[in-house]
């Protein structure tokens, strides 16, 4: 259970939340909604205990499972830990399993009396492991991992060598495998295919503990939640019902406040007109006018706050300089991480102005290929060549280009030499104007996405490599990005699991990984996009 009373949350000099009071009990299934930058992620981190509130009180009881929006695994001490071992660490049984594996390796390297001692130690650990249901837990952990798309050889792969999407799914399996009383999930459907999303919806529907969820996946919100906390303008407003009910009720409340405000303003206007008419007349009427002034001041203090319409993201990529006919090509690319061979002998050939999508199942090497083409990753075999006058802009799904300790404005300065005034104006289009001096590492996931896109805008590259650019974006920002890309005349290479986004963008061709087969894109391939 989580109880929040009069909680205040700050990010740098900004106050994100004031006097917020709510609770999460067993059986509660709450969706936390709000625009990018409203403070949703910061609030979840605070409730999970990763951050301290600036004021108020938070009480926690039971085991809390928290899925962060980020894919970085800061607490992984052993870089060799596998996906299965990572999932198992959610329970104490996982630590036992790691100790057993460590002793087993020592046994193989020892002999004589030392080996006998290690055998006895291994036997004791195995007895404890079995008594605690360890082998049953391993089978259960494998089921959880398989349900979110981690199965087969992926379970034995070191987590640190996995793509951001794979790590994200491992962390989701780990959090759900833990025996929790409260789940706090920040964008849990990022990087999940259709089957995994369906499984997650069923799991959350049957989950008996408390649930607090942030997601831009509206079908998941409708299926999984029974109430909403809306974060807007530093305040939290509760709604009963699912997300569809919330959107209707929010507008109904707004219209009601508009009517109340109109009635109040009309009443104030009548009184002020009377004040102007009678203030300079007889003493009796002037006295009445002065009493009306007091009444008007009181009415103005009590006026209903309607709130402004949410500001909208505006994205526009400048039309770039023309590149050569083939701005980017690669031949014979191969990549492996240890014994895990991701792909072999992949060729890429993209024409000027073409829109191409990289497709494939989870773990097929889509992100790895894009990173190689961007020059971030080095292939084990093959080479990448840029064509005449080609410049490449790369958007990384893990926000690798966003550095903690560096301000938002300095990130823009690093991307372009145009004047600060113009950089600030562009940041304003991405709703980041009030965050120019903020440490970029403290931005929310959606704000980091906007900053990374703003950097691409000012760079003016004629080849864009985009890896899951719609992750963490709210629907309005996603629509703005789509409109900008449809107007962009440069070359585009995309990785995305967002079916609606891909369908609206309508790529010209596709690369199917891990084999690297190319072909023309048509609507029949959208099913594979959803499975990616």
Give pTM, 2 decimals.
0.70
At residue 512, the pLDDT reads 94
Nearest to 236 by CA among 10, 460, 43: 43
Residue in the block written with tokens 């991701």:
342
- What pLDDT, on a 0 to 100 scale, did the predictor assign at position 269? 85
Beta-bridge partner residues of 238? 229
What pLDDT, on a 0 to 100 scale, did the predictor assign at position 443? 84
Omega before 143 within 30 of 0, i.e. cis:
no
Q: Which uninterrupted H or E stretch holds 294?
A: helix 283-301
State the DSSP string of 367-396. HHHHHHHHTSS--SEEEEEE-TT--EEEE-
pLDDT tens, residue order, the chain (532 aa)? 999 999 998 876 778 888 889 999 999 999 998 877 788 888 999 999 988 998 999 999 999 999 988 765 556 666 678 888 889 888 877 677 777 888 888 888 888 888 888 888 888 888 887 877 778 888 899 999 999 989 888 888 888 888 777 888 999 999 999 989 999 999 898 888 888 888 999 999 899 999 999 988 877 778 888 999 988 878 888 999 888 888 888 888 878 888 888 888 888 888 888 888 777 777 777 777 778 788 878 877 777 666 555 567 788 888 899 999 999 999 999 999 877 889 999 999 999 999 999 998 877 889 999 999 999 999 999 999 999 999 999 998 878 888 888 999 999 999 999 999 999 989 988 888 888 888 888 888 888 888 999 999 999 999 999 999 988 887 888 888 999 999 999 999 999 988 889 999 999 999 999 999 999 998 888 878 876 6
Task: Report pLDDT for 73.
Answer: 57
Tell me how far apart the alpha carbons of residues 15 and 10 are, in angstroms, rounded to a whole number. 4
Instruction: Please report which residue ranges of 75-215 form alpha helices under DSSP H.
Output: 83-88, 92-108, 112-131, 134-147, 164-177, 194-206
- What pLDDT score does 306 carry? 64
* pLDDT attached to residue 275: 81
């Amino acid at each position: 259970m989580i109880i929040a009373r009069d909680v205040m949350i700050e990010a740098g000099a900004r106050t994100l939340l004031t006097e917020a009071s709510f609770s999460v009990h067993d059986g509660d299934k709450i969706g936390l909604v709000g625009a990018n930058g409203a403070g949703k992620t910061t609030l979840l981190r605070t409730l999970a205990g990763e951050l301290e509130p600036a004021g108020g009180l938070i009480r926690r009881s039971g085991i809390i499972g928290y899925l962060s929006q980020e894919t970085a695994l800061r607490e992984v001490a052993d870089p060799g830990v596998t996906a299965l071992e990572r999932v198992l660490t959610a329970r104490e049984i996982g630590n036992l399993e790691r100790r057993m594996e460590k002793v087993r390796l020592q046994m193989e390297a020892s002999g004589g009396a030392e080996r006998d001692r290690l055998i006895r130690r291994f036997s004791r650990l195995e007895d404890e492991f079995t008594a605690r249901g360890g082998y049953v837990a391993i089978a259960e952990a494998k089921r959880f991992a398989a349900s979110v798309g981690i199965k087969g050889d992926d379970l034995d792969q070191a987590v640190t060598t996995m793509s951001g999407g794979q790590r994200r799914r491992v962390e989701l399996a780990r959090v759900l495998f833990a025996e929790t009383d409260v789940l706090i999930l920040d964008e849990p459907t990022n990087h999940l295919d259709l089957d995994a999303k369906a499984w997650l919806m069923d799991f959350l529907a049957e989950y008996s503990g408390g649930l607090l969820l942030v997601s831009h996946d509206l079908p998941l919100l409708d299926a999984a939640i029974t109430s909403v906390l809306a974060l807007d303008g530093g305040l939290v407003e509760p709604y009963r019902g699912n997300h569809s009910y919330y959107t209707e009720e929010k507008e109904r409340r707004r219209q009601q406040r508009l009517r109340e405000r109109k009635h109040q303003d009309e009443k104030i206007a009548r009184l002020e007109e009377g004040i102007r008419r009678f203030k300079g007349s007889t003493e009796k009427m002037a006295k009445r006018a002065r009493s009306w002034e007091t009444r008007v001041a009181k009415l103005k203090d009590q006026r209903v706050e309607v709130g402004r319409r949410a500001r909208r993201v505006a994205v526009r990529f400048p039309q770039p300089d023309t590149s050569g006919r083939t701005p980017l090509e690669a031949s014979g690319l191969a990549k492996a991480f240890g014994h895990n061979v991701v792909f072999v002998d992949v060729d890429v050939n993209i024409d000027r102005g073409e829109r191409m999508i990289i497709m494939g199942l989870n773990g097929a090497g889509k992100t790895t290929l894009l990173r190689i083409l961007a020059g971030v990753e080095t292939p084990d075999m093959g080479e990448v060549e840029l064509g005449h006058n080609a410049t490449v802009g790369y958007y990384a799904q893990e926000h690798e280009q966003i550095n903690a300790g560096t301000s938002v404005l300095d990130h823009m300065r690093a991307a372009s030499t145009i004047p600060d005034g113009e950089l600030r104006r562009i940041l304003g289009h991405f709703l980041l104007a009030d965050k120019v001096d903020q440490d970029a590492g403290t931005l929310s996931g959606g704000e980091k996405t906007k900053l990374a896109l703003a950097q691409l805008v000012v760079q003016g590259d004629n080849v864009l490599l985009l890896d899951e650019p719609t992750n963490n974006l709210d629907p309005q920002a996603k629509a703005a990005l789509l409109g900008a890309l449809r107007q962009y005349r440069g070359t585009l290479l995309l990785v995305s699991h967002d079916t609606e986004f891909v369908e609206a963008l309508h790529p010209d061709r596709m690369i199917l990984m891990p084999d690297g087969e190319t072909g023309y894109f048509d609507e029949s391939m959208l099913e594979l996009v959803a499975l990616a």
